[in-house]
Each structure stands twice: as C-alpha cells, then as structure tokens.
C-alpha cells in the first residue's frame, strides 16, 4: 500500500503542479492542492489509516535537503554588505509575529467565547496565546527555497530572504523553547528554573550549529576524493542523513544542523559546491512527496469553530512579520528593494510550525492546549501555504531577481495580459509577427551579378522578412534576390505586384528580380524557378501555427530536387538578428551552417554564439580540446566573423537550446533531412525545435549533404 501511495502522490502532485503553472501559480501550491485532493479533505486516498507512517522518512530527508539548500544561500562574502539589515530584519520580524499573534489572540479570547474558554483560567489563556505566538515565528524554508529555485532567483532580496529565513527559524526554535519553559513556570509545574531553561535553549542552538559545521567539514574532506557526480550525491546524502539522525538522537535541531552543513561548504575558501548540484537532481521527487504529504495532512473538516481563531492567527502573523520586517530593514538600512518586498516574502509557514505543535502535544503538562493549538495553526498553515508561495513569487519577480522571467521588452508589450499559452499562440500568428525596419546601412551589390537567391512570395504577412533574409544571402553569394510567385493555370496574376518585398530589398540597397511561374504545384514551380535561374539558395517561410499541413511535403519535394541549400525561416514575434545562437552537435553541422552564419555576420555587427553540444559524461579536458579544435577550424576559414565558442555538456538538447536562446534574438542551425524509418526512430532536432522554440529560427537543409534512409 505504501508503494501505491508513493506512486499516487508523485503522479497527482506532478499533474496538479503542471495545471497550477498554467494559471501562473507556483509548483508548491499545486503540490499542496494535490495533497488536499488526496487527503481526508478530498477523496481520502492518502490517510494515516491507509499508509500509516510509511512515508515519514521522505519528510525527514526533504527537511534535511531543504535546510542544506538554505545554507548554500548564506554566503558571507555576498551577505556581509547587508549583514546588519539581515540581523535586524530577522530579529524584529520574529518579535513582530510573536507579539502581534500573542496579543491579538489573547484579546480575542477575552471578547469572544467561541471556543468555550470561559471556564479556563486567565493563566491558561495567557499560555495558550504565548504558545501560538511562538509557533507563528517559524517561516517555511521549503516553500521559500523552492520558489527561489523555480525562478532561478539571484539578487539582494533573494540573498537577504534566505538569510532571514535561516535566522528566523533559529529564533523560532529558541523562542519556542523559552515560551515552553515560561509556560511551565506560569502554570506552576516547572522542573527547572527559567534561566536554566533559557540557557538550555541557547545551548541546543549552539550544539546544533557545531554538529552541522563538523558534518560540513567531514563532507568537504570526502568530496576532495571524488570527481563523479553520482559519488558526490551518494556521499552528500549519506552524511546529511547521518547528521539528521545524530541531531534527533541528541535532541538537537536537524534543521539548524543542515543549514550549518551548507553554510560551511559554501564559505570554504575552495568553495566546491558541486555536491549542491548533484543533490539537486535527487530533490524533485522528494519535494513533490514532502509538499503533497503536507497537503494531505490538512483536514479542513476538523477545523470547526477554531477556524475563526486560525484566520485571526494567520492575519496577525502576516501583520506582525511585515511590520517587524519593515522596522528591521529601516534600522539596518537595507536596500530599498529589500525594504519594499521582504515582508510579503516571509508569509509561507509549514513544516517547522507543524513540528512545534507536535512537541506541544507530546508535552505532558501542555498537551491539554494542543486540542486548540493544532487546528488553529493548521488553519494558518493551510492559508499560508496557499497564499504564501504566491506572495513570495510576486516579491521576487517584481524585484526583478527572477532570471527565467527576464523576457524582451517587445514580448512583454505584445503579450500584456495574456497567459503563457495565449502568448505563444499569438507570437506564432500573423498578428504577433513583426518585422522591424532595416537599421543597418545599405549594402553594396556587385556589378553584373550572374546568380540569384530565390524566395517564395506567397505568404504576404512574412514576405518582407523573407525578402530581408534572402537579400542577406544574395549579398553573401554575390547574387540578386528574386521573388517567385507560383500561379496556377486559369487564375489571375497576383494583385500586389511584389510591392512589399520590392520596398524591403531596395531599402537594403539591392534591386529585386521577380518571376511569376505558371504551375499547378507550388513545389514543382519552385523547383523550376530555382533550377532555371541557377539559384545559389532558396529561402522559404515556415507557415504559422494554423497553416502547417502541406509545408513538410513542399519542403521535402523542393529540398530533394534542387542542388542548392534550402533555407527555412520560422517567424516568432519580433524579428531581430543582432544576437545569433548557432547550436551544433558535430563538426559536420558546423560546416553546413557556417555559410549562413557568415552571411548574417557580414551585414552588420552581430554577437554570434556557437553552442557546441556534447554528451554530459565528457570530462573537462575533452571540453577544452574540442574548444581548441573548433577555434582552429574557424581560424582556417578564408572568410571569418567573430564567433564565441561555447561547448556545453548536456543530457537534453532541445531544453539546452531553449534555455540558451532566451539570451539571443534568433537561432540558426543546420539539419539533415530524414524520413521514413530513420525519422520514425531517431526524430529530427530541427523539427522538435520548430514546435518548441520561442524565438525566430533559421534552418539550413544542404542538398549535397542530406542522407535519406527509407
């Protein structure tokens, strides 16, 4: 049953997270919603009765990995500039949450009898309020870390946030221990004096940190003897789990110990952080289980009348943290962007708070209060985990620290108010395609050119862009651009008289040749025009997303019957050619695409990046060797343009190209045409990119280098 539960949690968590992303919700919110659907609140598939405590080990692993990941973000070199603001922010937001929740809940107890506390003594209400205040201090490091990783966030707000979360949870543990001891004193059943209890709290924090530092040093020594990523992941996980079990055995904080392990590694002079990257590949399924399980533990049906107190607890905690953070950032003179957003980024609350209420329920003296504290805190956690990730994401994005949200200004303007799917469809449509005016100087044609570069003049919405690309290649081949229109027999000639493409070509300094070919077939008409005019290349426009049915047949027929390169342009949004990405997988690819890169690079200043994709198992020595080989090949060419060579080991070529393309305007690549059995089994990188890439794309089909296997 546990195995089935594991499969269901992973599958449903992933599906609901993907649906949440469609609505611009963080993945963590989707995981929690999935847990609600699977737990007692929803269909009751995942309950304590059905799976028992069989998955609790995954929760412990997740918490240790989360703590370790937070430690990576507490790099002294980075945060020392705003260390003062981090300290004051962490201290005052913790005090703010404790004070606001304790005071507000205590007043609510005085003015309402919703929980039937009338028979409770004043001291009981005071203890109850203080315990809720202490639990409210804790922030959810897991949700915060996952948002940071999902957005690939970097910057002063992100660094301050992670450091404040670390301080916050250290203070939460210390303050909780203090309030626990004080509560024993108030109700008259304290085993130890108050000052001893406070001292024990400080000692627990100190010992937890010492355990973490020792584990971090041990891990650093082990990593020196390892180069393989798999070995690093195994060693890292082993030492982290050992640290976790030692912390539990010694009644210390595994969370603080885990943070200290990460902190130790990232602040060593050698700063070898490969183990963080190795463990990153292990984390996703653990995180899905952790958050989905957390959601399944939230049973809204059992909240009852404590829901009102839970809502007050939730709102008071937010107000306390935001006011405290605002005061702390002002005293610490934090950057304006940190002052503006850090308060709303501290709303998430989950794992630690739930752990603290379990400690209350296991305390023989204070367990009587758990019947109220547990549903109140779970109500607050439920609201915090649904709203908190959204506010954290909002803060990071608006602070402009989310790398993956940095898109071009044109795209932001064109897609204003659209969902990601709507934007993608729009950018591939006639309305979304934009061809900016030619801004470079006029090109100088050769006298009496003997050749032409043919381009199709059928698609009127992209014909000026095709004319521009064809003219660039005509300039490279010392030829003349020629617009060809295929006219089926019995139909009138085109009414446009080629005015759009003529104007574009003349703006670039060339004269346009035109030809109307009478033919019932577009493909045979193009082939005739190319062969009859001895074309050096033919340029075609890939149809937009709603008109693609016949294009593969057109491309296949033309490319099979001409003796020159076929260049296919797929438009997406605004056409720029300043920053060019050229992905290749071997030297044959480079040889095929180089003339195209050369043609583009010769018409103006360009930033060209050659992305040489290698298998992920290559060593650094082979990477350097391949870089030298490519550079040597480029230097031997008779015509040259500046090219940045970037070898990249990868396990997913399409994803690697997509990620790298975010920093470029257009992608240029070669493609060997494949069909039949070969295409069915091995696919086509160019075809996959044409469906998934969100940038203009130029694909070169070199007729002389194609290999078809049918």
Does 46 have pLDDT greater than 50?
yes
Same domain, 381 and 332: yes
- 208 inside domain: no
For 249, the token pair is 């055995």
Does 100 have pLDDT greater than 90?
yes
Q: What's the CATH number where 395 sits?
A: 1.20.1530.20
**How far is it, in rounded angstroms, from Cα 529 to Cα 455?**
10
Same domain, 617 and 683: yes
Strands 607-615 and 697-701: unpaired
- 215 inside domain: no
The per-residue pLDDT for 18 is: 81
pLDDT top residue among 2 and 558 = 558
For 121, the token pair is 């003594």
Domain limit, last residue, from 546, 570, 594: 570
Domain limit, last residue, from 535, 552, 570: 570
- In terms of average pLDDT, the best of 110-124, 444-458, 681-695 is 444-458
The per-residue pLDDT for 453 is: 93
The per-residue pLDDT for 683 is: 42
- Reported residue count of the chain is 710
Query: Are 580 and 668 in contact, with CB atoms under 8 Å apart?
Result: yes
pLDDT-derived band at 404, boundaries 50, 70, 90: very low
The per-residue pLDDT for 575 is: 81
Q: How many CB atoms lie within 10 A of CB 276?
A: 17
Which stretches of 520-565 are DSSP H helices? 522-532, 551-561
pLDDT top residue among 172 and 314 = 314
What stretch of H or E contains 152?
none
The per-residue pLDDT for 551 is: 60
pLDDT top residue among 403 and 185 = 185
Same domain, 44 and 130: yes
Same domain, 556 and 444: yes
User: What is the separation, in whole angstroms, between the first and last Cα of the chain?
Assistant: 48
The per-residue pLDDT for 627 is: 87
Does 406 have pLDDT greater than 70?
no
Query: Are 290 and 58 in contact, with CB atoms under 8 Å apart?
Result: yes
Same domain, 551 and 644: no
Summarised one tens digit per residue, pLDDT across range 265-283 is 877 766 666 777 677 666 6
Closest CA to 540 of 475, 424, 462, 613: 462
**Percent over 70 (pLDDT), the chain:** 77
Q: Residue 195 CA to chain centroid, in angstroms?
A: 47
Query: Are 344 and 331 in contact, with CB atoms under 8 Å apart?
Result: no
Does 509 have pLDDT greater than 80?
yes
**Mean of the pLDDT values across residues 158-185?**
76
- In terms of average pLDDT, the best of 225-229, 439-443, 631-635 is 631-635
pLDDT-derived band at 319, boundaries 50, 70, 90: very high
Summarised one tens digit per residue, pLDDT across range 206-256 is 888 899 889 988 888 887 777 666 778 888 888 888 998 898 888 777 777
Does 297 have pLDDT greater than 80?
no
Same domain, 559 and 618: no
Same domain, 11 and 125: yes
**Mean of the pLDDT values across residues 415-423?**
67
Does 708 have pLDDT greater than 70?
no
Does 386 have pLDDT greater than 80?
no
Does 102 have pLDDT greater than 80?
yes
**Least confident interval from 81-95, 324-338, 636-650:** 81-95
**Mean of the pLDDT values across residues 413-422?**
65
Backbone angles phi, psi at 707, to 5 degrees: -130, 115
The per-residue pLDDT for 298 is: 62
Which stretches of 76-228 are DSSP H helices? 76-79, 83-111, 122-136, 141-151, 156-186, 194-224
Query: Are 177 and 204 in contact, with CB atoms under 8 Å apart?
Result: yes
Query: SS3 of 590, please?
Result: helix
- In terms of average pLDDT, the best of 18-27, 343-352, 446-455 is 446-455
pLDDT-derived band at 42, boundaries 50, 70, 90: confident
Query: Are 601 and 642 in contact, with CB atoms under 8 Å apart?
Result: yes
Same domain, 334 and 477: no
Query: Are 572 and 544 in contact, with CB atoms under 8 Å apart?
Result: no
For 651, the token pair is 């396990």
- 221 inside domain: no
For 260, the token pair is 């200290």
Domain holding 341, by residue range, is: 2-54+93-198+282-405
Does 127 have pLDDT greater than 80?
yes
Closest CA to 690 of 680, 698, 700, 702: 698
pLDDT top residue among 437 and 657 = 657
Strands 434-435 and 513-518: unpaired
DSSP code for 567 = E
Same domain, 516 and 658: no
- 39 inside domain: yes
- In terms of average pLDDT, the best of 271-275, 300-304, 405-409 is 271-275
- In terms of average pLDDT, the best of 160-169, 418-427, 632-641, 689-698 is 632-641
DSSP code for 509 = T
**Least confident interval from 59-73, 101-115, 382-396:** 59-73
Closest CA to 476 of 595, 580, 391: 595
Same domain, 604 and 510: no
The per-residue pLDDT for 618 is: 79
- 59 inside domain: no
DSSP code for 540 = E
**How far is it, in rounded angstroms, from Cα 147 to Cα 393?**
6
Closest CA to 386 of 104, 16, 7: 16
The per-residue pLDDT for 505 is: 92
Does 678 have pLDDT greater than 70?
no
Q: Residue 312 CA to chain centroid, in angstroms?
A: 34
pLDDT-derived band at 703, boundaries 50, 70, 90: low
- 153 inside domain: yes
**Mean of the pLDDT values across residues 641-651?**
86
Same domain, 336 and 348: yes
The per-residue pLDDT for 544 is: 65
Structural domain count, the chain: 3
Same domain, 290 and 175: yes
- 46 inside domain: yes
pLDDT top residue among 404 and 509 = 509
- 81 inside domain: no
Classify residue 281 as exposed, middle or buried by CB count within 10 Å of its CB (0-12, 13-18, 19+): exposed
The per-residue pLDDT for 320 is: 92
Angle at 239 between CA 233 and CA 241, to 5 degrees: 95
Q: What's the CATH number where 655 sits?
A: 3.40.50.620
**Mean of the pLDDT values across residues 328-335?**
84
**Mean of the pLDDT values across residues 480-484?**
92
Contacts for 642-647 with beta carbons within 8 Å, 24 or more apart? 642/601, 642/606, 642/608, 643/582, 643/597, 643/601, 643/608, 643/609, 643/610, 644/607, 644/608, 644/609, 644/610, 645/610, 645/612, 646/609, 646/610, 646/611, 646/612, 647/612, 647/614, 647/623
Domain limit, last residue, from 548, 570, 592: 570
**How far is it, in rounded angstroms, from Cα 327 to Cα 343?**
10
**How far is it, in rounded angstroms, from Cα 97 to Cα 92?**
8
Q: What share of the chain is helix, strand, coil (3-state, %, to 5)?
A: 60, 10, 30
User: pTM, whole model, 2 decimals?
Assistant: 0.52
Mean pLDDT (the chain) is: 77
**Mean of the pLDDT values across residues 176-181?**
74
**Mean of the pLDDT values across residues 630-658?**
86
pLDDT top residue among 272 and 309 = 309
DSSP code for 536 = S
CB environment 205-228: b (16+ within 10 A), e (fewer) = bebbbebbebbbebbbebbeebee
């Amino acid at each position: 049953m546990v195995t089935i539960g594991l499969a269901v949690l992973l599958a449903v968590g992933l599906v609901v997270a993907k649906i949440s992303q469609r609505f611009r919700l963080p993945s963590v919110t989707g995981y929690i919603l999935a847990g609600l659907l699977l737990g007692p609140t929803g269909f009751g598939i995942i309950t304590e009765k059905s799976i028992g405590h069989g998955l609790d080990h995954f929760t412990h692993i997740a918490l240790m990995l989360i703590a370790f990941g937070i430690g990576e973000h507490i790099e002294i070199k980075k945060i020392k500039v705003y260390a003062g603001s981090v300290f004051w922010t962490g201290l005052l937001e913790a005090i703010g949450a404790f004070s606001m929740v304790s005071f507000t809940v205590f007043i609510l107890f005085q003015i309402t009898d919703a929980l039937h506390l009338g028979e409770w003594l004043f001291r009981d209400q005071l203890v109850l309020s203080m315990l809720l205040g202490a639990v409210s201090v804790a922030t959810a490091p897991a949700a915060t870390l996952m948002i940071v990783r999902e957005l690939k966030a970097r910057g002063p707000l992100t660094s301050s946030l992670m450091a404040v979360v670390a301080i916050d949870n250290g203070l939460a543990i210390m303050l909780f221990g203090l309030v626990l001891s004080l509560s024993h004193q108030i109700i008259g059943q304290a085993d130890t004096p108050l000052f001893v209890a406070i001292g024990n709290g400080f000692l627990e924090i100190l010992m937890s940190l010492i355990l973490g530092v020792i584990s971090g040093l041990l891990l650093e020594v082990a990593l020196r003897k390892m180069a393989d990523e798999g070995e690093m992941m195994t060693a890292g996980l082993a030492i982290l789990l050992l640290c976790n079990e030692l912390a539990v055995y010694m009644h210390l904080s595994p969370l603080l110990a885990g943070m200290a392990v990460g902190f130790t590694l990232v602040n060593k002079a050698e700063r070898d952080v490969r183990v963080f990257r190795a463990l990153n590949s292990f984390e996703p399924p653990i995180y899905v289980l952790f958050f989905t399980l957390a959601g399944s533990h939230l049973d809204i049906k059992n909240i009852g009348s404590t829901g009102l107190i839970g809502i007050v607890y939730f709102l008071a905690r937010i107000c306390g943290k935001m006011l405290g953070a605002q005061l702390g950032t002002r005293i610490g003179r934090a950057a304006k962007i940190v002052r503006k957003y850090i308060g709303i980024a501290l709303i998430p609350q989950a794992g630690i708070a739930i752990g603290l209420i379990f400690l209350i329920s296991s305390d023989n003296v204070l367990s009587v209060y758990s019947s109220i504290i547990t549903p109140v805190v779970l109500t607050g956690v439920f609201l915090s985990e649904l709203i908190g990730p959204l506010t954290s994401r909002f803060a990071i994005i608006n602070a402009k620290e989310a790398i993956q949200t940095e898109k071009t200004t044109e795209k932001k303007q064109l897609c204003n108010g659209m969902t990601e799917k709507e934007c993608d469809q729009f950018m591939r449509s006639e309305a979304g395609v934009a061809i900016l005016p030619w801004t470079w100087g006029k090109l100088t044609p050769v006298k009496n050119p003997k050749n032409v570069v043919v381009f199709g003049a059928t698609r009127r919405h992209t014909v000026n862009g095709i004319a521009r690309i064809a003219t660039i290649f005509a300039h490279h081949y010392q030829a003349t651009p020629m617009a060809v229109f295929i006219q089926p027999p019995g139909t009138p000639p085109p009414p446009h008289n080629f005015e759009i493409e003529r104007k574009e070509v003349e703006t670039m300094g060339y004269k346009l040749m035109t030809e109307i070919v009478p033919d019932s077939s577009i493909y045979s008409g193009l082939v005739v025009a190319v062969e009859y005019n001895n074309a050096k290349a033919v340029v075609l426009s890939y149809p937009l997303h709603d008109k693609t049915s016949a294009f593969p047949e057109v491309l296949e027929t033309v490319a099979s019957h001409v003796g020159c390169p076929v260049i296919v342009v797929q438009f997406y949004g605004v056409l720029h050619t300043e920053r060019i990405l050229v992905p290749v997988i071997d030297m044959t690819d480079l040889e095929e695409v180089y003339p195209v890169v050369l043609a583009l690079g010769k018409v103006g200043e360009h930033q060209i990046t050659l992305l040489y994709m290698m298998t992920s198992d290559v060593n650094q020595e082979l990477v350097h060797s391949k870089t030298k080989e490519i550079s040597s090949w480029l230097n031997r060419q008779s015509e040259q343009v500046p090219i940045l060579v970037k070898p990249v080991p990868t396990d997913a070529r399409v994803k690697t190209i997509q990620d790298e393309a975010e920093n470029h305007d257009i992608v240029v690549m070669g493609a060997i045409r494949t069909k039949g059995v070969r295409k069915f089994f091995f696919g086509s990188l160019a075809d996959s990119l044409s469906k998934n890439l969100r940038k203009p794309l130029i694909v070169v089909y070199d007729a002389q280098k194609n290999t078809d296997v049918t």
